[in-house]
Amino acid sequence: MSLQLQNTLSGKKEFFKPVNPSHVRIYACGPTVYNFAHIGNARMAVVNDLLVRVLKTQYKKVTYVSNITDIDDKIIDASKETGEDISVITSKYTEIYNNDMSALGVNLPDIQPRATDHIKEMIELIKKLIEEEKAYEKEGHVLFHVPAFENYGILSKRNRDEQIAGSRVEVAPFKKDPADFILWKPSPSPLPGWVSPWGFGRPGWHLECSVMSEKSLGLPFDIHSGGIDLVFPHHENEIAQTCSISENKHPEDFATFWFHNGFVNVEGEKMSKSIGNIRLVHELNKKYKGEVLRLTLLSAHYKQPLNWTEDIIEQNNKMIDRLYRVLLELSEVEIDSKIPSESIMESILDDLNTPKVIAKLNEEANDVSSASDERKREIKNNLLSAGKILGILENDPSSWLGYNQKNTENTEEIERLINKRNEARRSKNFNLADGIRNILKDKGIEIEDTDKGTIWRKSK
RNA sequence: GGCUCGGUGGCAGAGUGGUGAUGUAGGGGCCUGCAAAGCCUUGCACAGCGGUUCGAUUCCGCUCCGAGCCUCCA
């Protein structure tokens, strides 16, 4: 049993073979911090977090790097709009991003490099590219010359001629070739910038990831990942930058696996500012528990598009509640193993087939009612150990389900009403009993009469 | 126009050359004073048309429909 992943570079599912099995290295292109993260950003973070968790079940040492882009025209625009300093904006939204992702059970990357800390290295890379005649300076800009890199388009499987034919890009007059892209551009005052051999300016977007991934992981590393939309142009341009110097001619000399997650659509449409259907993680976190959102993000295979609706969040909420109910039922059961069954592990390792894993967890849950003690141990172990890899089922079942929460302000009143209702039931005054139940219901308290007495929980 | 990926039951979503995915919703039943929770049970689902095959939702071809990318994008 070993890990297989869809490799964008080959277009196929392949067995994962690390460059160095004693140290697996992965780089994910992270967010540009100028606004709250949306659920699409979260999908990338959750999927890569999952991938790292899975890698850690297979390899002793895994280093996960994911950057913060803290210099970009969008940040400059945000600064103009709000009047806040750029550094204020970027540190604010970096913190919010990390907190929002943490609520979804996303662990911090081992290294979270920032673009502005790597300007020197970017300038060095540009110098090399110019020396090797892969880039040229014109009117204060430095551009990468795409025809100078023969493997351009190999990742996105794009043919240059077709690309130009269908192109809707405005071709700047200083470009030698329409496909050439910016490595460095001038920053006229008051725009932020750095001193460089080509004047005061700032880097192009793609440069930072070439520089930071190499610096933090060394080349070649194992997995370079991001959202599917990054395949072109971002990753293609990174490859062009990194692979046109020295001996790194092929994307595999950069990273052996190129891993991309699909988009999140909202109510059937692409999220976009103009439609106004952006779903911010920050807002969703106020309404739903992090594990529910995480499970919903994992409810479709990572490379499929995911249609984000209220309905599927609710469906997944109910599903996870039920799994917690099973765990509650098994709370007395002792487990010894910490590894999921082979069948479950197989689905996880099969290109992170989370929907199948979730189906198998449900099958486990279905067995509980007729399970032997031995089987119960197995079920609990599978739920908890697979849950740990998926990043779900990590809460206390009783408090997740809202049972008998002692810290609720009106606990005394609730219990007084329950006692009163039970008295009414004993004297067969069912009208009164049902009346009291409705009063509790209005207070958001659901009651359940069990053979051990009446228990209550918060209904929401 | 070019490239890529899809169309599975009310909804979500895996998968497979020949048995049931799974969840959620709905139906029926058990339990309960009634509920809740739980349990049992229930669904002529694989876009259409051809082809290959003993057999196709699964393989091949065509048609129709949808999505993404084509230099802002997770």
Q: Range with the lowest mean pLDDT among A44-48, A78-82, A246-250, A285-289?
A: A246-250
Give the distance, in angstroms, between residue A159 CA and nucleotide B3 C1': 8
Q: In this structure, are A64 and A140 located in the same domain? A: yes
Q: In this structure, are A392 and A413 located in the same domain? A: no
Q: Is residue A268 situated within a structural domain?
A: no
| Nearest to A303, CA basis, from A13, A2, A31, A52 | A13
Q: In this structure, are A240 and A118 located in the same domain? A: yes
Give the residue with minimal CA–C1' separation from B66. Answer: A268
Q: Which residues, at least 6 apart from A48, have a Cβ–Cβ distance to it below 8 Å?
A: A26, A28, A64, A66, A225, A261
Q: In this structure, are A241 and A286 located in the same domain? A: no
Q: In this structure, are A175 and A107 located in the same domain? A: yes
pLDDT tens, residue by residue, A176-192: 888 889 999 999 888 89
Residue A457: which nucleotide is closest by CA–C1'?
B36
Give the residue with minimal CA–C1' separation from B3. Answer: A158
Q: In this structure, are A312 and A253 located in the same domain? A: no
Alpha helices in A244-309, H assignment, sequence order: 281-287, 290-298
- The pLDDT of residue A460 is above 70: no
Give the distance, in angstroms, between residue A417 CA and nucleotide B5 C1': 58
Q: Interhelix angle for A310-329 vs A373-390, to 10°?
A: 140
Amino acid at A287: K
Give the distance, in angstroms, between residue A115 CA and nucleotide B31 C1': 63
Amino acid at A390: L
| Nearest to A138, CA basis, from A192, A195, A199, A188 | A199
Give the residue with minimal CA–C1' separation from B38. Answer: A369
> CA A3, CA A230: separation in Å to the nearest integer?
24
> CA A181, CA A233: separation in Å to the nearest integer?
10
Q: Say what the ipTM of the complex is.
A: 0.92
Residue A28: which nucleotide is closest by CA–C1'?
B74
Q: Which residues, at least 6 apart from A389, have a Cβ–Cβ distance to it below 8 Å?
A: A50, A53, A54, A57, A340, A348
Question: How many domains, chain A?
Answer: 3
Residue A459: which nucleotide is closest by CA–C1'?
B36
- The pLDDT of residue A274 is above 80: no
Q: Is residue A170 situated within a structural domain?
A: yes
Last residue of one domain, picked from the residues A381, A398, A415: A398
The span from the first CA to the last CA of chain A, in angstroms, equals 41
Residue A363: which nucleotide is closest by CA–C1'?
B22
Q: Range with the lowest mean pLDDT among A200-204, A270-274, A362-366?
A: A270-274
Q: In this structure, are A187 and A325 located in the same domain? A: no
Q: Is residue A273 situated within a structural domain?
A: no
- Domain containing residue A318: 281-398
Alpha helices in A230-302, H assignment, sequence order: 236-243, 281-287, 290-298
- The pLDDT of residue A162 is above 70: no
Q: Is residue A276 situated within a structural domain?
A: no
pLDDT band at A160 (very low <50, low <70, confident <90, very high): low
Q: Range with the lowest mean pLDDT among A164-178, A221-235, A298-312, A340-354?
A: A164-178
Residue A228: DSSP 8-state: G
pLDDT band at A170 (very low <50, low <70, confident <90, very high): low
- The pLDDT of residue A168 is above 50: no
Q: Is residue A270 situated within a structural domain?
A: no
Q: Is residue A301 situated within a structural domain?
A: yes
Q: In this structure, are A228 and A286 located in the same domain? A: no
Amino acid at A36: F
pLDDT tens, residue by residue, A102-150: 999 999 999 999 999 999 999 999 999 999 999 999 888 999 999 899 8
What the block records as the tokens of A132 is 């090797």
pLDDT of residue A163: 53
